Structure 1
Amino acid sequence: MASPSDAPAGASYVATGGEFTRDTDYITTRITADGRDGYPVEAGRYRLIVARACPWANRAIIVRRLLGLEDVLSIGFCGPTHDQRSWTFDLDPGGVDPVLGIPRLRDAYLKRFPDYPKGITVPAIVDVPTGQVVTNDFAQITLDLSTQWSAHHRPGAPQLYPEPLRAEIDEVAKRIYTEVNNGVYRCGFAGSQAAYEAAFDRLFTALDSVSERLSTQRYLVGDTITEADVRLFTTLARFDPVYHGHFKCNRQKLAEMPVLWAYARDLFQTPGFGDTVDFEQIKAHYYIVHSDINPSQIVPKGPDLANWLTPHGREVLGGRPFGDGTPPGPTREGERVPAELLR
């Protein structure tokens, strides 16, 4: 079976017995305040490359926006589909990224690693002066945006990774990743009936546990939005449009799980979350690129998306979305998701 091409880093594969296993060997170079790896934080030096379709990249889009890093870390958007070699910049004029001057993200990877053997993945951060990829370690990227880039945060930026809560955030985020973020892929790319059924049960056991946790508190950790919420949200946003049918995660739709559905709508209606989600690109990616699962490459018209804007009622649980901070301002020109996608 082919491996999922939106994997966060490296090739993924189906192991003996049909169980999906993800390669987690990333480019671990970090951009830090002290420049310990040779890449110090500098305004204007780096470019964050993402694809709206990818849940791992969607996290970075959200965190960059919540922290107000638009003026110091530029962003480039790949299209929702790609070929076997690379994510491509087919949304840009001439199919070329206007800052990096390349048609394929692969070019930035090979500029630094001429024999790079793994998948070309998003999110990735590229050093603009050299045109070389710095990192594709999706989990570390968002943590570093919160901690290493703090000198460039907007006034009123929220604390997404507050030091007193980091141990709990890490613990919750680890379970979210292994059981939910990766759990849907474990279902979708299972290579046997037994592996699929085990993955299915494991996923919904985790979702039930998360639902129970969120039944009495508005957010996953503490009373404000944290990194843990960002990580869960991007999977929930894709659940009904993609994972329920395409990945056979069909015990229930998200819209049929009352606590998680209300939680997801709460975040979606929070500035910085829903305004980064492009459902059309999400569906195009999964249903077209994963041709081994969907050979016809037909993209479904549904589901109806207007219900994302219905009242969620989560305010009764208290909590302050941005803590002592403030919401981000309007989305920048050129980075907006078309509003008509929710009509």
Structure 2
Amino acid sequence: MSENTNTTEDAGAAVDGGAGVALAARGLHVRFGAARAVDGVELVVGAGEIVALVGESGCGKTTLARALLGLVRPAGGTVEHGPGPLVRTRAGLKEFRRHVQLVLQDPTGSLNPRHTVYEAVAEGLRVHRVEGDEETRVADALSRAGLRPPERFFLRYPHELSGGQRQRVVIAGALVLEPDVLVADEPVSSLDASVRGEILALLLRLRGELGLSVLVVTHDLGLAWNIADRVAVMYLGRIVETGPAADVLLAPRHPYTRALLSVVPEIGRMRPILLTGEAPDPSRIPAGCRFRPRCPAYADGLPAEVSTLCETRSPAVLPAGGGHHAACHLTDRTGPPEPTGPPEPAAVTDPPGLADPAALTDPPGLAGR
């Protein structure tokens, strides 16, 4: 897990007081017809903080990320960047997107095969009409992304690069605009195991060097353990558990989080928890707790008063503060379970010192891989 100069208490104070907030969803709703893809979400990424947004496919995490990027207009609630809400005029969105940049999971699809590396990285500068020495800015962004010497890559095309190098070009294209927030959607899922740890190490190093805030969207709880300061677990359009990464991943309070953790490969952890029932459908959200139809605890039998709550009352929307919270009627009654030990990343080879940004360095010959 990453080390950060921002403590959990600091993050919580920033959220509650409105100071030090890099990017936030405030009561955010996104609907596609009858589908409530994002349903009243409160989420904050603090200044200089890495937050992992985790959950199964279809849980709404990518839609939430797109709403936070201003790519989807919410049906309700607001997106905040820095001191105030996102201004949804053409000029406001353009200015916002200079400061909040997206890194997609598929670098091949993100890059125009007809553009050189130089053109790909310089594109943002030209769109935003950034003044100054373009070549110097492009070279600096490539160097920060670990492609050194940068001039070696200027005239190369995406098909001439490895998968890891292409992802670094995508990251350089975001860095060239000097943003304060990166939203990384499954940033290593398409990469070979041998380079996944290198990209995670790069994101940690960039946070340390540039003070970037990062929202990482992922289904991989092992990745979240390695990189995140805080974790937000999403199910069927809502955050169902949130808190410091160590708290959420060592002592999960929500049955859904425990089920996700149970299948992370690690000898000696809990037995895998099989989630039965239909996959979540945002157009058919059940009454009461939205996780109830698949909840192992509910299926095993609960005290009558708890079962009634699960069937009739939706748990409250979680606050965006820095504490450890779970939207679960059972946890409200019983408290959190005992710590179970850290998860291991799934198919990620971490370079030495991954948990310590100060110790992160690119392996020898990295630019040539």
TM-score (norm 2): 0.27
TM-score (norm 1): 0.29
Q: In terms of Rg, which structure is larger?
A: 2
| Structure holding more strand per residue | 2
Structure with greater contact order relative to length (CA < 8 Å, sep ≥ 6): 2
